[in-house]
Chains A and B, each alone.
Chain A
């Protein structure tokens, strides 16, 4: 059940991203739905789960057409992001602002991680200009999305937990 919920959210985010979000005539870039979903799941389930979900989601994003980069780059970036977001699992009574900040930091980390590996292996698409553009646009759009997406995903993930799991005494 838990796996089913996570898989459903990740696949939906992937498909909505490439078939709808990327085609919207937004200026200067796009939100990255997937990183928001990964962060939302990791915040409920902790670092280990976050890393695994991040890796799996990133790998799917690496191979879903029309992706055209070295496979493994997004898996790497999202695994780190999922782990980092999972470390904040214990922060109880998280305010909306805190959630938004986590999403902002994680979005930036995902872009930098992806671009960093690209720079290492000589991806000609990764330039300072492109990095700056992607960083600014992704962080801003993700911050706008976070207050709507995170509660839905986290709520569903929490409800899918077995009884008693994750509930603090």
Chain B
């Protein structure tokens, strides 16, 4: 135990510094200078690391830049097709592509203008945080408090934005809250992430109408920040018995699998209105079973025929 008086002095100084940092950052809220430095320094390194880990990463970031300039869904699909032919695809790459296609499909139906991005790193400290880094930042037009979606629905919102990367607060995080609307009854409430607990939906109203199986979509925030309307969130699996409470609460199974998010899109522009419920998957889908040939035959007439012209196209 050599030099222990000096060591104790050093420790005391470091602890004092740490407490000072905590106090300063706590008072500054999010977005202090240190956080920006961290984003600027580590963001590019993470992107590079992800490119090594995930060989398709670079491919998708280039796709991202193309589509951020208001390309149409069809054009991207065509490019996707061409690239698909050029590449000899592994299983991982195939999954990657299909999630990108689903994302483009959702964004196309909603006429959202999105910046596609790939998740390069996940989860902050010691298992308490459900956050992710994506490989697109302020240079791609992303700001904090923007909606992040993937092909299945709502992923989260951006919180810290660096030059080339951004941090996304996932829907599962205990800090996450979003306005939500019940598809069937049009009643509104809010969805809260629960960390390791399930996601919950609290209905703002005393009516007793929600039931298991009801689906939830996002409810627009003021000026569409952080949340745009109509993004699918999840399905109610159980209404909790809450006797004596003002509001009713239910457990929600999110459409998005937060443990396996890969390609996401940040919504940077949206049409003035999105047709109600137009982004939810076709209605009779009890289980996503692999026997898609049957369901495709029966539902194609309803879903494909009705989609071409959603509401006014005020995108700009």
Chain A residues within 8 Å of B, Cβ to Cβ? 14-15, 18-20, 22-23, 25, 29-30, 32, 46-48, 51-52, 55, 58-76, 79-80, 83, 86-87, 89-90, 110-111, 114-115, 117-118, 121, 123-127, 129-130, 133-134, 137-138
Contact = CB atoms under 8 A, between A and B. Distances in A.
A110 B122 CA distance: 20
Nearest to A131: B128
Contact of B259 (A25, A58, A80): A25
Interface in B39-94: 39, 41-43, 45-46, 49-50, 53
B19 A72 contact: yes
Contacts of B32: 71
16 contacts: A19-B49, A19-B53, A30-B123, A66-B123, A67-B131, A68-B169, A72-B21, A72-B22, A79-B14, A79-B15, A83-B7, A124-B175, A125-B128, A130-B196, A133-B196, A134-B128
A125 B8 CA distance: 32
A123 B9 CA distance: 30
A111 B20 CA distance: 20
Interface stretch (B160-168, B212-220, B231-239, B275-283): B160-168
Interface size class on chain B is: 35 or more
A19 B50 contact: yes
B21 A15 contact: no
B210 interface: no
Given A55-B14, A121-B22, A129-B196, A73 B125 contact: yes
Given A30-B127, A72-B25, A73-B22, A20 B53 contact: yes
B167 A65 contact: yes
B127 A138 contact: yes
B174 interface: yes
Given A64-B38, A69-B129, A46 B122 contact: no
Contacts, number: 191
User: What 4 pairs across the A-B complex have the smallest Cβ distances?
Assistant: A63-B38, A72-B21, A76-B18, A72-B22
Contacts of A59: 21
Contacts of A61: 125
A46 B1 CA distance: 7
B7 A51 contact: yes
Main secondary structure of the interface of A (DSSP, over half): helix
Given A48-B7, A64-B38, A65-B46, A114 B14 contact: no
Contacts of A30: 123, 127
Contact of A65 (B10, B15, B121): B121
Contact of B121 (A51, A55, A66, A83): A66
A63 B35 CA distance: 5
A63 B53 contact: no
A100 to B, nearest CB: 19
A34 to B, nearest CB: 9
A118 to B, nearest CB: 7
A47 B7 contact: yes
A149 to B, nearest CB: 17
A111 B30 CA distance: 22
A125 B46 contact: no
Contacts of B37: 63
B132 interface: yes
A68 B4 contact: no
B1 A134 contact: no
Contact of B14 (A14, A52, A87): A52
A113 to B, nearest CB: 10
Given A25-B260, A63-B38, 7 more contacts: A47-B8, A65-B39, A65-B167, A71-B35, A72-B25, A115-B128, A125-B173
Contacts of B3: 46, 48
Given A18-B46, A66-B132, A129-B197, A90 B121 contact: no
